[in-house]
Amino acid sequence: MRKRAYFDTYWASDWPALSWLEPYFLAPAGKRWSFESDNDGGSLTLEGIEGTQDLGTGTGRIDTHLMMAGHRDHGVMLQYFQMGGGAGPNCYSRGDRDRLYQTFETKEGDRIPIGLCIPFEIAWRAVKEFIERDAALPQSIEWIASRDLPKNVFPGD
């Protein structure tokens, strides 16, 4: 299996140390989610789970992803999904369902539903669990399957 990370200034074929990631989530208010680079999201990927590491993309290799988009005022939206090898889970962190149609814009121009954002401290538990359990779906937070989201939660879908 191969690990990949894209998070602020960390772009590597490995995951960053927990001590490096932690301040993005647990720093004092106003300093959380402070990126040096010109982005405001990131991802952790484990390629080749379930013994598929020798297969190529599109030929049966299964990759697991944890995508993160955050906002200093609204917290972090997490998306967990698998690609390749058949259907895998595709789900989002479950926040305040009453705010599903309120959005914020990322630096890349994506509109993120505030209702899928969770507080930084809770998001940190899930990210830490993802890393410690080699990309297993974190059980420390509530998730909502993408198929269970109401229509048009993501503008443009």
Q: Report how far Cα 139 is from the mean position of its chain's Cα atoms.
A: 14
Which pLDDT score is estimated for 16? Answer: 96
Higher pLDDT, 78 or 51: 78
Higher pLDDT, 57 or 110: 110
**pLDDT tens per residue, range 106-143:** 988 899 999 999 999 999 999 999 999 999 999 999 99
Q: Structural domain boundaries of the chain?
A: 2-148
pTM value is: 0.93
Torsion of CA 99, 106, 142, 23, to 10 degrees: -130
